[in-house]
Chains A and B, each alone.
Chain A
Amino acid sequence: MRWLLKGGRVVDPAQGIDAVLDVLVADGRVVELGQDLSGAGEVVDCQGKVVVPGLIDLRAHLGEPGRELAETIASGTRAAAAGGFTAVCARPGRELAVDNAGWVSFVRERARQDGVVKVYPLAAVTKGYAGDELVEMGDLKAAGAVALYDGDRSLARAGVMRRALEYARMVGLPVMVHCEDADLAGPGVMHEGLYSTINGLAGIPAAAEEIVVARDLMLAQLTGARLHIAHVSTAGSVALIRAAKARGVAVTADVTAHHLVLTDADVQPDDANWKVRPPLRTSADVEALLEGLRDGTIDCIATDHEPHLEEDKQVEFDRAPFGIIGLETALPLLLTRVVAAGSLSLNELIARLSWHPARMLGLPGGTLAPGSPADITVIDPERERVYDPKQGYSRSRNTPLAGWRLKGWPVATMVDGRWVVQQGRVLV
C-alpha cells in the first residue's frame, strides 16, 4: 500500500526539517519527502496539519502482566495510538516482576497479537525488584528487553546498583532509574512544602530524589555505564544532571508531561487522581525542568502512564496508589500548556517525544528520513476539545485532567505504513 500525505507541515527534528512537504510512504517505509510529489499513492490531505515522526513513549504501564483489570496491552496500545504514539516502552508493574526472559517474551507475544503500536519491553534490574540479585541481563536482552528498570523504587544498596551498572554496560543495556530515597520519602504522598502543610498530607522532600540522583550519577561515572534517570522532578536534580553531563558522564534523562504542567499547588487532598510518584513539585521546579529540556540536560519526555481502577483511586488520598494515566493527554497537554505558552518550540517538543527516545534506546523510527519505518503521527493544531477520560481508549480514568480544555490533538497515526488512527478514532 502506498500513501501520499499531502501538504502538511512536516516537522522532523532528526533531519532539521520544518516545512510544508509531501510524504510518500510505501511498503511500510518512508520513501520520499518533497514538494508536490504526485501520482504515487492514495492521497491523504494534510493541509493545516502537522506531520511528525510517530511518538515514542519511554515508559508506560500497559497492565500486562499483572494489572489486567486496569489496562491490557490491547487497550493500552490503543490509548497510545489515539495519543499519537507509535511505540511504547512497556514498564513492568509491581504485581509481577518482568525479571526473566519468559515474561519479556510474553509481553512481546501479547503485543504482537493484541497491540496496535510497537511495544518494547523494559525488564527488571534485580530479581523480583528486590534490589539484591541481578537479573540475567543477557538473556533478557536476547528476548527483546530494550532497557532495565526496577519500577518506581530505587535500589537501596549502592553496591548492588554499582554491579548492575557494570554488568549492564557489558551487555549493552541502559539502566533506567527511579530516584527516591525510601527512608527520606517515608510515608509521603505529595511534595513536601507549603501545600503539604496546608493539606495535612505527609511530604516527600525534593532531597529524597536528589540524593539518589547524585549517588547514581557518581556510580555511572565510576562504572562508565549508560544511566537513564526517569521522571526528573526537581530543580536540584536538573542541576546535578547538567553538571554530570558537563563532565562527560553517560547519562540521559526524561521528564513526564504532567510534571511540566502541574504543581503541588494543584493537589486536592480529596482527590487521589492528583497522587503521583514522583510527586508534583513547585512552579520553580517546573521552570527548571523546562530550562533543562531547552538546554539538553533532559533528553526526553515520557508519559509514565499508570492505570488504576476507579475503586482503588476513589479512596482517601493516603490510601490510594500512586500514578495517573497519560498516553492520551501527553501531546495535547504539552501543545496547549508548553508549546503554546512559548516554553518550548514545536520542533523541540517533537524531538523529545520521538527522535531522542529512539536514539537513546537505539530503536527504529523517530524520524521521517527515507528508509525509516512509516511510523507517522498527524496532529491537528487547531482542534480543541474538552478531555473526558470516559471517552478514552484506556481502561482506566485516573487522571486529574478530566474536564481540561486542550488545543492540538493527534488525529491520525500510522504504524509501519498502516493507519491505526484516523479522524481521532482507533480503526483496529
Chain B
Amino acid sequence: MGLARRNLIRMRDLSAADIQQILSTAAACKDIFSREVKKMPTLRGQVMVNLFYEPSTRTRTSFELAGKWMSADVVNIAVATSSVVKGESLTDTAKTLESLGADIVVIRHPSAGAPALLARSIRAAVINAGDGMHEHPTQALLDLFTIQEAKGTVADLHVVIVGDILHSRVARSNIWGLRTLGARVTVVGPPTLMPPGLEELGVRVSYDLDRVLPEADVVNVLRIQRERQPTALIPSLREYTRYFGLTRERLERLRPDALILHPGPANLGVEIVQEAVDDPRARIHDQVTNGVAVRMAVLYLVTGGRHDAVAA
C-alpha cells in the first residue's frame, strides 16, 4: 500500500490497488455525509496542520472539513510567499511543527518538491495539497472518484484534459492516476502551454479541441492560471477561448453521456462558459463534495487506518 509510508506526495507512487483502496474508503466516507451527525471520532486527539504557502480557499476548506468531520484538531497556517524568501526555511518550519505536536501536515507550496522535502524532515504524515507544477494528488483522486462514481469504471475511458498543461499539477497527477487505472488520456492546449515528453508517458497530445471532443468520455477543463503566466505564452485570453474554451458550440460536439469536470475556481467566459457549468453532463459540484470524502479517506489511511473500520 502506497500510503503505508504515512505520506501522500505523488500519484506517480500509487498502484491501481492503492488508488482503489482510497476510492473505496472515500465511498464509505461519503456515506457518512448522509447521516444526521457527520462527525466520526477517528482522528480524535490528532493535530492536523494546513500549511498553505499559496492562497487557496477550496482545497484548504475541503481539507479542513475533512479533518473536522473526523474529529481532528485542525490548525490553519497561511504563509505569505513573499516572507518565505527571507524568513524561516521550510525545514525549520518542519521542526517547529514537530515541536508543536503536529500529527498530520497538509502542505500547499509554490515550489515543486517542497512536500517531499518536508516529509524528509518531519515524523508527521505529510499530504501534498499541491506543489508548484509538480503534483496535486488529492485533486486527481477526487476526479477519479467522480468519474468512477458516474461511469462505474475508469479503465478504457477516453479522458480529455484541456488547458494549461505546462503549469498544471492537476494535469500531471491526473495523467498518472488515469494511466494507472487504464484510461486513455489526450491532453489539449496550445503548444506554448504543453510540456515536453508527454508521449513517453502514454499520453496523446492534440492542439485541436474540436476534433478530440466528440471522442471524449470525460473532458476535464483546467483553469487558466493567469498568475502563472508572467511571459506572454498566449496572445490573449480571447484567442485562448476561441481555440480551447468549452463554449456553447463545443457542448454540442460532446457526447450525451460525456462528463464535464473542472477543478475550480472557473474563469467563466475564458476556459468554460456558464452554460457548460450548468449542463447536466457537468459534475463540477459533485467534485467539490467528493473532494471532502476523498480527503477524509486519505487522512484516514495515512494515519494508519484500516478500510473496514471506516465502513463499519
Q: Taking beta carbons and an 8 Å cutoff, which residues of A are in contact with B?
A: 186, 192-203, 268-271, 311, 314-319
- Which of B89, B91, B172, B196 contacts A200, CB < 8 Å? B172
In the assembly, what is the distance between CA of A317 and CA of B132, in Å? 11
Is B113 located at the chain interface by the 8 A CB criterion?
yes
Are A199 and B117 in contact (CB-based, < 8 A)? Answer: no
Are A318 and B197 in contact (CB-based, < 8 A)? Answer: no
Decide yes or no: A270 and B116 within 8 Å by CB, A197-B197, A200-B131, A200-B135 being known contacts.
yes
Are A203 and B112 in contact (CB-based, < 8 A)? Answer: no
Are B197 and A200 in contact (CB-based, < 8 A)? Answer: no
Chain B nearest CB from A284 CB (Å) reads: 13
Is B238 located at the chain interface by the 8 A CB criterion?
no
Chain A nearest CB from B13 CB (Å) reads: 12
User: How many cross-chain pairs have Cβ atoms below 8 Å apart between A and B?
Assistant: 80
Chain B nearest CB from A318 CB (Å) reads: 5
SS of A interface (majority)? loop
Are A194 and B200 in contact (CB-based, < 8 A)? Answer: yes
Are A316 and B134 in contact (CB-based, < 8 A)? Answer: no
Chain A nearest CB from B67 CB (Å) reads: 25
In the assembly, what is the distance between CA of A398 and CA of B119, in Å? 20
Considering the complex, give the chain A residue whose CB is closest to the CB of B167: A200
Are A193 and B196 in contact (CB-based, < 8 A)? Answer: yes
Are B195 and A316 in contact (CB-based, < 8 A)? Answer: no
Considering the complex, give the chain B residue whose CB is closest to the CB of A202: B133
Considering the complex, give the chain A residue whose CB is closest to the CB of B176: A198
Are B112 and A318 in contact (CB-based, < 8 A)? Answer: yes
In the assembly, what is the distance between CA of A61 and CA of B169, in Å? 36
Is B237 located at the chain interface by the 8 A CB criterion?
no
Chain B nearest CB from A350 CB (Å) reads: 38
**Could you say which residues of chain A place their CB within 8 Å of the CB of B116?**
268-270
In the assembly, what is the distance between CA of A313 and CA of B286, in Å? 42
Are A315 and B172 in contact (CB-based, < 8 A)? Answer: no
Decide yes or no: A198 and B113 within 8 Å by CB, A193-B196, A203-B196, A269-B134 being known contacts.
no
- Which of B109, B111, B120, B196 contacts A197, CB < 8 Å? B196
Are A198 and B172 in contact (CB-based, < 8 A)? Answer: yes
Most buried by A among B89, B195, B201: B195
Considering the complex, give the chain B residue whose CB is closest to the CB of A194: B197
Decide yes or no: A315 and B90 within 8 Å by CB, A192-B196, A196-B196 being known contacts.
yes
Given contacts A197-B195, A200-B172, A316-B114, 20 further A-B contacts (CB under 8 A): A186-B231, A192-B196, A193-B196, A194-B201, A196-B196, A197-B197, A200-B113, A200-B131, A200-B132, A201-B132, A201-B133, A269-B134, A314-B91, A315-B89, A315-B90, A315-B91, A316-B90, A316-B112, A316-B117, A317-B113
Are B117 and A270 in contact (CB-based, < 8 A)? Answer: yes
Interface residues of B in 222-276 (CB under 8 A from A): 231
Most buried by A among B131, B196, B198: B196
Sample (12) of A-B pairs whose CB atoms are under 8 Å apart = A194-B200, A196-B195, A198-B201, A200-B112, A200-B134, A201-B133, A270-B113, A270-B119, A316-B112, A317-B113, A318-B112, A319-B85
Is B12 located at the chain interface by the 8 A CB criterion?
yes
Interface residues of B in 11-66 (CB under 8 A from A): 12
In the assembly, what is the distance between CA of A273 and CA of B169, in Å? 23
Which 7 residue pairs of A and B lie closest in terms of their CB atoms, listed nearest first? A200-B134, A194-B197, A269-B113, A270-B116, A316-B111, A200-B133, A200-B112
In the assembly, what is the distance between CA of A201 and CA of B169, in Å? 11
- Chain B 89-120 interface 0/1 with A at a Cβ cutoff of 8 Å (1 = within): 11100000000000000000101111111011
Are A318 and B132 in contact (CB-based, < 8 A)? Answer: yes
Considering the complex, give the chain A residue whose CB is closest to the CB of B169: A200
**Could you say which residues of chain B place their CB within 8 Å of the CB of A315?**
89-91, 117
Are A319 and B111 in contact (CB-based, < 8 A)? Answer: yes
Chain A nearest CB from B283 CB (Å) reads: 26
Chain A nearest CB from B17 CB (Å) reads: 22
**Could you say which residues of chain A place their CB within 8 Å of the CB of B131?**
200
Interface residues of B in 115-145 (CB under 8 A from A): 115-117, 119-120, 131-135
In the assembly, what is the distance between CA of A270 and CA of B85, in Å? 17
Chain A nearest CB from B132 CB (Å) reads: 5
In the assembly, what is the distance between CA of A268 and CA of B114, in Å? 11
Are A197 and B198 in contact (CB-based, < 8 A)? Answer: yes
**Could you say which residues of chain B place their CB within 8 Å of the CB of A317?**
111-113
Chain A nearest CB from B24 CB (Å) reads: 28
**Could you say which residues of chain A place their CB within 8 Å of the CB of B197?**
193-198
Considering the complex, give the chain A residue whose CB is closest to the CB of B166: A197
In the assembly, what is the distance between CA of A108 and CA of B29, in Å? 70
Chain A nearest CB from B131 CB (Å) reads: 7
In the assembly, what is the distance between CA of A145 and CA of B198, in Å? 47
Decide yes or no: A269 and B195 within 8 Å by CB, A198-B12, A200-B134 being known contacts.
no
Chain A nearest CB from B198 CB (Å) reads: 7
**Could you say which residues of chain A place their CB within 8 Å of the CB of B85?**
319
**Could you say which residues of chain B place their CB within 8 Å of the CB of A197?**
172, 195-198, 201
**Could you say which residues of chain B place their CB within 8 Å of the CB of A200?**
112-113, 131-135, 169, 172
Chain B nearest CB from A223 CB (Å) reads: 34
